[in-house]
Structure 1
Amino acid sequence: MPAFIVPNPSSRVPVGMYKELRAWMLDNDQDAQRMADWSASTLSAPDTAEKMASEIIWVILCAGRSAQAARTIERKVWDAINTGRPVVEAFGYRAKAAAIERAWHEREKDFAALQKAVMGGSVEALVELCGSIPFIGDDTQFQLAKNFGADLCKPDIWLSRLAGFPDRPRRAVRYRFPACMDLCRPLAESTGERIATVESMLWLGCNKGVLQVDASAGPVTFAEKVITARSIFSAQADTSL
C-alpha cells in the first residue's frame, strides 16, 4: 500500500478550539479535571509489579470497546482475580482472559523487563516492550507506554480521525502515529501541556460527544451540549457483558 500523506494534521484542531474545548470540559464534565490531573502529573512508570499488571489488564480490556464498557468488565475481572476464579468466568473472550491471567501471574517477570526499559531511557524501547505483551496491539502499545509515563499519544480511531485519517481504508500505525503526534505537538507547545495531556483531553471530548469528526475524517467541530455519557472512571452496576 502506498504511503498516505495527511495534509498538515496540525491544522485540524486549531489552538483556539482546543483551549475552548479544554475550558468547557473542565467546567461541564465530571471526568475532565481528573483526566487533566492524571495525564499532567501522575503518569509515570509503576513502582510495583501489581500496579504494572493492573495497567496492562486495563489496556487489554480497553481495546475494541468504550472506556465505560471496559470499566464495568474490569470490576468483574478483578473480582475473579481476587477470589481465585478463572478470569474467563468474568470475561468470556477466552484469549483475552488468558492474556489477563498471564499479565497477573507473570507480573514479576514483566516488571523486571519494564524497569530495564525505563532505566534505558528510550521511549522507543518502552513502546516495543509494551507491544510485545500478549493482546497489546499496534495502537494500544502507545496507550500502555503513555500510562507508563511516556509523553506520547495513542493513535486510536478518534485521534486518527482528528488527524485526518478516515476509518477506511485503515492505515498502518506507522502513518497514523506520527500524524497524531503532529496533531498534538503544537497544541502542547502552545499551552505548555504534555502531549499526553492534550491527547487525553481530545480523547475525552470525543468520548463525551462534544468534539466531533465523522468516519470520513471531515472537518472537526466542537459543539457544546449536555453530556449524557457516564463517567469513564466508574463501573455501571448490574450490567451483563
Structure 2
Amino acid sequence: MPMYAIPKPDDRLPVDTYVAARTWLLANDPDAARMIEWSLNEIRPPKSPENMASEIIWIILCAGRSAQAARTIEAKVWRAIRAGEPVVTAFGYRAKASAIERAWRDREADFAALQDVLATNDTVRLLEWCRAIPFVGQDTQYQLAKNFGVQVCKPDIHLCRLSGFPDRPQAPVKVRFAACMALCGELARASGDSIAVVDSILWLACNKGVLVTDCDAAPITLNTKPVTARSIYESGPAAS
C-alpha cells in the first residue's frame, strides 16, 4: 500500500493568502457574505424530516457537478416533487432520481433514525449514517455531516488540491480528510474563523476562481480578476 505524506498546511496556504481571498470575496462576490452567514448561523441538525430530506437531496445533486449546475437541476427536481411527478422526468439520471425519491418518501423514518444518531454526539456514527444513504459518497458524507452542524470539512477536489494532493492517484479518503482538516484547522486557529467558515470560503474561492491551483497540486495563486462564474444560489438555464 502506498504511503502518503500529509503536507504541512503552512507550506501550501499561508493564513495571509486565506485572509486575502476571504477579504476579496466579501468585497467583490455577493455569495461570500451569504456563505459565511450560513456557515456561522445556519448549519445545524435538521429541525424537520423535510429539512433533512432537502439537505440529502442537495448532496445527491452536488456529487460530480458544480454547485451552479446542481442548483439548476435542484429547481427542476423540486418542481417535480411538489407536482407529484416522477423525479426522473426532471433529472434523467435514473439511479440518482430514484435515490432522491427514496429520500423524500422515507424522510420520516430517516429523521427518526437520525435523531438517535445525533443523540450520541458521535461524529463517526453520524458519518456512517450519512454514508449509508444511497448516493452519498465517501467525500459527500462529510459535506452532509457538516450541513447537519458538525465542524468538519469536505475533502473534495478543490480542498485536496489546496492541501497538496494530485488528482491521480487519489489518496484514501481518510488520508485526504486528515490533511484537509489540518489545513482548515490551522487557518481557523490563525484567522479566528470556524472550520466550517474556512471550508466554505476555500471552496467558494476555488469555485469562483479566486484561489487557483491545478491537478498536480501546483503552488496556489490568488486571482483578483472579476468573477465570471454565476452565483451558487441562482438557477441558470435548464440542465439535464
For 1:36-185, what aligned pairs fall within 5 Å after superposition? 36-185=36-185
Compute the displacement of 1:41 (Å): 1.5
Tell me if the contact between 1:26 and 1:32 (Cα under 8 Å) persists in the aligned partners. yes
Q: Distance in 2 between matches of 1:226 and 1:232?
A: 16
Q: Distance in 1 between matches of 2:180 and 2:62?
A: 19
Q: What is aligned with 1:222? A: 222
1:209 partner amino acid: G
Tell me if the contact between 2:160 and 2:180 (Cα under 8 Å) persists in the aligned partners. yes
Q: What is aligned with 1:207? A: 207
Q: Distance in 1 between matches of 2:226 and 2:201?
A: 17
Q: What is aligned with 1:240? A: 239
Q: Distance in 1 between matches of 2:220 and 2:163?
A: 9
Q: Distance in 2 between matches of 1:196 and 1:84?
A: 35
Q: Distance in 1 between matches of 2:41 and 2:239?
A: 35
1:66 partner amino acid: S
Compute the displacement of 1:205 (Å): 0.3
Q: Deviations over 1:20-45 (max 9, x none)?
A: 11111000002000001101121100
Q: What is aligned with 1:24? A: 24
Q: What is aligned with 1:195? A: 195
> Which blocks of at least 5 consecutive residues in structure 1 are unaligned?
none
Q: How many residues align?
A: 240
Q: Distance in 1 between matches of 2:228 and 2:160?
A: 24
Q: Distance in 2 between matches of 1:199 and 1:51?
A: 22
Q: CA RMSD in A?
A: 0.9
Compute the displacement of 1:12 (Å): 1.0
Q: Distance in 1 between matches of 2:6 and 2:225?
A: 30
Tell me if the contact between 1:49 and 1:107 (Cα under 8 Å) persists in the aligned partners. yes
Compute the displacement of 1:7 (Å): 2.8
Moved over 2 A (4+): none
Q: Distance in 1 between matches of 2:6 and 2:231?
A: 33
Compute the displacement of 1:117 (Å): 1.3
- Aligned-partner SS, 2:201: helix
2:118 partner amino acid: V
> Which blocks of at least 5 consecutive residues in structure 2 are unaligned?
none
Percent identity between matched residues is 58
Tell me if the contact between 2:157 and 2:167 (Cα under 8 Å) persists in the aligned partners. yes
Tell me if the contact between 2:69 and 2:239 (Cα under 8 Å) persists in the aligned partners. no
- Aligned-partner SS, 2:21: helix
Q: Distance in 2 between matches of 1:61 and 1:240?
A: 12
Compute the displacement of 1:10 (Å): 4.1
Tell me if the contact between 2:77 and 2:87 (Cα under 8 Å) persists in the aligned partners. yes
Compute the displacement of 1:9 (Å): 3.2
1:10/1:110 CA distance change after superposition, 3 Å: farther
Q: Distance in 1 between matches of 2:71 and 2:17?
A: 29
Q: Deviations over 1:95-126 (max 9, x none)?
A: 00000000000001110111111111111111
Tell me if the contact between 2:56 and 2:144 (Cα under 8 Å) persists in the aligned partners. yes
Compute the displacement of 1:137 (Å): 0.2
TM-score by length of 1: 0.97
- Aligned-partner SS, 1:91: coil
Compute the displacement of 1:240 (Å): 3.4
Compute the displacement of 1:128 (Å): 1.0
